[in-house]
Structure 1
């Protein structure tokens, strides 16, 4: 889905209704920063807000996700395309998460193996240090790569305002986490909570 196109469409329909970003935000019980983010193409409305947004703007969800007004003949075709886009995005996110787990496991095992070799066999001190350093670099590199892949897959959903966002690399790495949640600060409401991993935007 073309987020820039959708954002411009939201802005166009809002203006046609004679609403400011703040007025639209108040009608949806969200911040005007969220509306601004949508209109800049930096994110999509979360599922719970799509119907209220469409009702307010006088459009349907299919038109929202397409980023344009649709004729009756285009409606079914675009609905199928939008559905396929959502399915494709979800599948790509699953693949990235799986790849991040595989990369993480393989590199940690390889790093531990190098460190074990350094401790099990006779070798010069410099060689032993080299093996240990190499093992630590492999582990750190693998964990970093796994984090980048996982961070790029989908978004995180704020527990309080339900906004979906991608955290910065620093916030992602520093955030305590469970398997499906990570402790992050929501850029919309500013609250810190365990945000749930979502496979789509």
Structure 2
């Protein structure tokens, strides 16, 4: 794999792992639903294997999320990262969203110095 592809595979792997853990599933349980060995799930999560589009669709069904969420979480494009931040805070109360945005703004100002 090229360096860019490796980094993308790692990012997608982190998104898969995060979703799996949020669903309180083990690698073995996901593997069973996919009819593959748990080692294959482990390789996807570590980013040593890039999952196919078909596999991402299957994973999205298991995790009960849109397939795009697995890609957006792993994107390095600012627009998609903004969508990801939006998805994280949308369930918060208005005052909590404001609090998160204030912190994010302070971090951004600090990092731009």
Q: Which has the higher helix share?
A: 2
CA contact (8 A) 1:3 1:41 kept: yes
User: By how many angstroms is 1:15 displaced?
Assistant: 0.7
Q: Secondary structure at the match of 2:50?
A: coil
Distance 2:73 2:35 in 1: 23
Runs of 4+ aligned structure 1 residues displaced above 3 Å come to none
Equivalent in 67, 74, 78 of residue 83 of structure 2? 74
Distance 1:31 1:67 in 2: 25
User: By how many angstroms is 1:27 displaced?
Assistant: 0.7
Q: Which structure is richer in relative contact order (CA contacts within 8 A, separation 6 or more)?
A: 2
* 1:45 paired to 2:54: no
CA contact (8 A) 2:72 2:83 kept: no
Per-residue CA deviations over 1:86-125 (Å, capped at 9, x if unaligned) read xxxxxxxxxxxxxxxxxxxxxxxxxxxxxxxxxxxxxxxx
The verdict on how the C-alpha distance between 1:33 and 1:11 changes in structure 2, with shifts beyond 3 A counting, is same
User: Could you tell me which residue of structure 1 aligns to residue 31 of structure 2?
Assistant: 25
Report the TM-score, using the length of structure 2 for normalisation.
0.55
Alignment of 1:177-196 (within 5 A): none
User: Could you tell me which residue of structure 1 aligns to residue 13 of structure 2?
Assistant: 7
Gaps of 5+ in 2: 85-113
Q: Which has the higher strand share?
A: 1
User: By how many angstroms is 1:44 displaced?
Assistant: 1.8
Distance 1:47 1:53 in 2: 10
User: By how many angstroms is 1:47 displaced?
Assistant: 2.6
Higher Rg of the two aligned structures: 1
- Count of residues in correspondence between the two structures: 74
Gaps of 5+ in 1: 76-201
Distance 1:48 1:3 in 2: 15
